[in-house]
Amino acid sequence: SEIAEMLGLMHYMEGMRLLTLIEAVTATSSENVTVTDTKFGNVAVRLYLPQRAPEGLRRAMVYFHGGGWCLGDAGMKGYDHMSQRISNELNAVIVSVNYRLAPQHRFPAAFEDVYSVTKFFLQSRVLSQYRVDPARVCVAGDSAGGNLAAAVAQQLLEDPEVKTKLKAQILLYPALQALDLNLPSYRDNYNKPILPKSLMVRFWSEYFTSDPSLREAMASNRHVPAESGHLFQFVNWSHLLPAEMRRAHVYTGPTYGSAALARRFPGFLDPRASPLLASEAQLRRLPPAYILTCEHDVLRDDGVMYARRLHAAGVRVTHDHAPDAFHGAMMFLLWPLDLAVGHRLLNRYVEWLNENL
């Protein structure tokens, strides 16, 4: 992808997106689950409906895939496998959303799409159509999808048109803030697969713009202007991370960047892109959360800090930390990338859903 971009053949993310195409599978129903590609509003979704008759009303999940807001598809093998399994085992309706992707569609396009689908699905007539219990609906997502799930859960609280309350939010190794890209987890996992710091910085910057000035500022952690310095209280890892994750790292406070850059690309200061920027008053109204973090992941500290802030705000949080796992581990379920850690994390996730949704 880097070479193709240097030669002017294609944008970096277009090259990366070829991986998505290789992994895509068509919507194929099984004896247990009916799978269809359709639209909710104007947004494409892959819908999973259990075939067995429900004993009463079903539970449901609106799912947002990962891929740095630039890649990914609900139809990728790993996502399709997970959705089919959860739909079958939990007799749950799964709505897996194919939101618009950067760089063709910048923030807040992805957020607007997933919010639109969630709001559409939460209508009483739609829930009734699919025989869904309005008291047993959650949002979920991994990586960038976890970011979107957290943002949707926050935004729904402010929407007077939405009467249905979420039962839970599930955030799998989520990206939750774009202020401090030099957290201990970014330092500890600088070059580890499958998400080195350089790629995460590229994802963040492409979400807002292809202008290299933002990417360069983010790479050096000098992109937040002094007038936004008060926001760092929400991502201050010196007290939001446990000692075993701070290790020998010393918190020095922010190095401020250009106010002009933030005026041109204000998205990274928006809570819809950085849900960790929500105030405690906002957080305390949120539904119970399941948060998975992985030790060998640049995004580890985002999830840990959000879990701690939610807990401090009085929200019931289940925080599972996998000391032997890396970013995206739950997708490693099928040959030739079939790993025991992926199955273990998925089994635990399904167990939590069964008990809490």
Catalytic center residues: 143, 297, 327
Q: How many residues does the chain have?
A: 357
Q: What is the DSSP letter of 166?
A: P
Strands of the 92-98 sheet, one edge to the other:
33-40, 43-50, 92-98, 58-64, 132-142, 168-172, 289-296, 317-326
**Dihedral of alpha carbons 353, 144, 191, 180, sign:** negative
d(CA 19, CA 6) in angstroms, rounded, equals: 19
d(CA 322, CA 312) in angstroms, rounded, equals: 22
**Dihedral of alpha carbons 155, 159, 162, 163, sign:** positive
Q: What is the CA radius of gyration of the chain?
A: 19
Helix orientation angle between 109-121 and 144-156, rounded to the nearest 10 degrees:
60
Q: Which tokens belong to 245?
A: 């994750």
d(CA 23, CA 67) in angstroms, rounded, equals: 13
